[in-house]
A and B are shown apart, each in its own frame.
Chain A
Amino acid sequence: MLEVVELSKHFKNKKAVKGVNLYLEKGETVGLLGPNGAGKSTTISLISSLVHPTSGDVRLKNESIIRKPEKIRKILGVVPQDIALYMDLTAEENLEFFGRIHRIKKKDLQRKVEEVLDIIGLTDRKKDLVKTFSGGMKRRLNIGVALLHEPELIIMDEPTVGIDPQSRNYILETVKRLNTEKNITVLYTSHYMEEVEYLCDRIYIMDHGEVIAAGTKEEIKAILSSEQSIAIKVEILKGEYLQLLQALPNVKNISVQDPAITLIVPKKANILKDLFKLAEETKTNIISVHIETPTLEDVFLHLTGRQLRD
């Protein structure tokens, strides 16, 4: 359905996106992962035709949209990272405004507004000003505006940032429903790995403006298939212990979330003996040790050297 070919965008002193290639098939949900500054939002702006690329192409059903952005705009709904709504208008007025500028006919508009309000669960608050809404309700309406003109493809740029778990679950369920029931293709970016794991069929991982890994969840996890993750919980984390762990020959990656340490090591390597020995030497009390198959978070850490939320 959509194909991104060698897409690049250079600003004055910065190469924000460097030769990105990706594709979306009709009806699938694709995750775009990356830490802050990875180039996700710029990539979304390029795909949605708001920004001209320095080079490369975006092709919709085999037609370039660079020169004719109207094509993609008709079938595209974008949920921006910010709450792109008028705070001094009611939920209904916001939907009516965006519906009208999408040229939805007056006779259809009211029905579509009611439908969207029902999907996002704000029917009973439709007459309230948006500025009186909670963060979660604003996020839901932000999604609702992108659904009004019944898009085939929806791009969501971190739609759950800064909201409570209940609203987050509601949004995730809504996205899942839109994808399964209405067959809407979704490109979803997030800081939350569990969201991407839950929603997405395939994942692209971006860092420093480049796609550094791509594939299904299983394919991505397979990057670390020969490795295992060891999570150590200690009473008090000592710098000396950490340094000694880092120096171990089989440790490929180490991350710290005080008082826990996560190591990525080859499955074959038996380093448990060393862990305890070093703990004894540095007088570190180990509370627990968990050995797990690597998660997407571990893969991300392995690839970028950073936590997703860094």
Chain B
Amino acid sequence: MIAQLIKKELLMVWRRPRELVILLFMPFVLITILGAALGSIIDGEAPDLDIKLAVIQKDDAAYGEEKMIKKMASLPISPEEKAVAIEGIKSFNPIRILFDDVFASEEFKDSIQVTEMETVPSDKEALEYSGILEIPAGFTEQFYLHAFFNEDEVPKLNLKLNESSTLEGSVLNDIFTSFQEDISLWSALPSLGIDPETLQNSIISKVGKTETVTKKKPVNAVTYYAIGMCVMFMFYVAGNSAALALEEKENQIYGRILLANVPVPIFFVGIFVSTIIITFVQMNILFGLSALIHGVSWPNVIDYFVVTFTLCVMVGGFAVFISAINYRSNSRSATQVFSSFLIPIIAFVGGSFIPVSQIGGFFEMISQYSPGGAGISAYYKIMQGYSLSDVSSQLLSVSITTVLLLLLSILIRPRRGESI
């Protein structure tokens, strides 16, 4: 009898193109779109930038450096001290650092295109640039005076941003804010008796030696969104099953089924099992397509099946729970609230749209144990190569949710002889 109830559900879903579009086509399209659009954020890659920077060079850096070397040489200090100080001046020319170590760095050389100018461009010309940097006259000299002789103020670069290029402007602003802070720091170091070059090299060597904490397989954006979208859209199966069940009640089919002496619990077991099967098939189709088209592959297929099955059972629990509310309240409002309101929340909290680890804190903790978050987290870890025992807390959380949903369904289910 349960087999008939299940067969009927499967046929109904199979023959409703709208449902198939929601359950299969939409998540796959979203995986592709989100993976491509937000891939750089997840993968930690810099987005493709085309920054055009106009530099109006009013400062003569070579002259400023030479002038300071002469000044240093005329000071009544020992030859050794003079040599160290002159070496410091030569190695710490801020304008040379800006051009050679920043603009020409691996990080920015492809994204920043520098055009040197002698005069300020017209308003029309200025629109072609993401920003205009003015290096004021005497900048280098002022920097050395402050750094080595404790005279004058820390010099400042003038940057004007093109408001229409938001992303590029924002990146430029970050670069120069950071550079200006560095200048202030460097200019203070000699007076503190610290060799700036030593400090810079020390910092660079540390950054260069940064290691990835985990040795597990990294997960790229398409894989992340394949997991996120699959977990989100599996909940729509529950909404869909509950809607179909309510249709059966509204059309008096449920009454007809009861008249065939089918016990109420058996009818709900039919909803539960068929939802599990439909969700399981849905997940395997979606992950199968993701593997074929986007190369999303699982390091351990058995672990994948265990996680998938556990999640499918939870979705079955949701389907029964929503159906029980619908049947008891005689309305489809529970389905509507679930599909239009709760699923997006479950998906957002779970991290279907953005990785919650990027938000962190309390939100991340809640997410880990939310129905969607536990699922995403379990899949994510399995994808990284962790074992089932590493995702036991997530699986436990999912199983507890399932049991609670089923217990609540038993409490609110329609009773025999109640109004149909």
Interface, chain A (partner B; CB < 8 A)? 11, 45, 48-52, 69-70, 73-74, 76, 78, 80-86, 88-89, 93, 97-98, 100-103, 129, 145, 149
Given contacts A49-B417, A52-B417, A100-B4, 12 further A-B contacts (CB under 8 A): A49-B259, A50-B258, A50-B259, A51-B417, A69-B416, A69-B417, A70-B261, A84-B256, A86-B8, A93-B8, A103-B260, A103-B261
The verdict on B300 contacting chain A, using a C-beta distance below 8 Å, is no
Main secondary structure of the interface of A (DSSP, over half): loop
- CB distance B1 to A100 under 8 Å? yes
CA distance A84 to B250 in the complex (A): 9
Q: Interface residue tally of chain B, by bracket?
A: 20 to 34
**Residue on A nearest B254 in the bound complex, by CB:** A84
Chain A residues with CB under 8 Å of B251's CB are 82-85
CA distance A294 to B312 in the complex (A): 66
CA distance A81 to B1 in the complex (A): 25
- List B residues 1-57 near A (Cβ within 8 Å): 1, 4-5, 7-8, 11-12, 15-16
- CB distance B420 to A84 under 8 Å? no
Q: Closest 7 CB pairs between A and B?
A: A52-B417, A80-B252, A84-B252, A88-B15, A100-B4, A101-B260, A102-B260
Known: A76-B259, A80-B255. A89 touches B8 (CB 8 A): yes
Chain A residues with CB under 8 Å of B4's CB are 97, 100-101
Interface, chain B (partner A; CB < 8 A)? 1, 4-5, 7-8, 11-12, 15-16, 250-253, 255-262, 416-420
Chain A residues with CB under 8 Å of B419's CB are 11, 51
CA distance A86 to B1 in the complex (A): 17
- CB distance A97 to B256 under 8 Å? no
CA distance A81 to B255 in the complex (A): 12
Chain A residues with CB under 8 Å of B252's CB are 80-82, 84
Name the one of B8, B416, B418, B420 contacting A97, with C-beta atoms under 8 angstroms. B8
Q: How close is B251's CB to chain A, nearest CB, in angstroms? A: 5
- CB distance B12 to A88 under 8 Å? yes
**Residue on B nearest A83 in the bound complex, by CB:** B251
CA distance A299 to B16 in the complex (A): 49
CA distance A143 to B253 in the complex (A): 13
Known: A84-B251, A86-B12, A129-B15. A45 touches B420 (CB 8 A): yes
In the assembled complex, 23 residue pairs joining A and B whose CB atoms fall closer than 8 Å, in A order, are: A11-B419, A45-B255, A49-B417, A50-B417, A52-B418, A69-B417, A74-B261, A80-B256, A82-B251, A83-B251, A84-B255, A86-B8, A86-B12, A86-B253, A88-B11, A88-B16, A93-B8, A97-B7, A98-B260, A101-B4, A101-B260, A103-B1, A145-B256
Centre residue among B7, B11, B257, B417 by max chain A CB count within 10 A? B417
- CB distance B12 to A50 under 8 Å? no
Q: How close is A101's CB to chain B, nearest CB, in angstroms? A: 4
Chain B residues with CB under 8 Å of A102's CB are 260-261
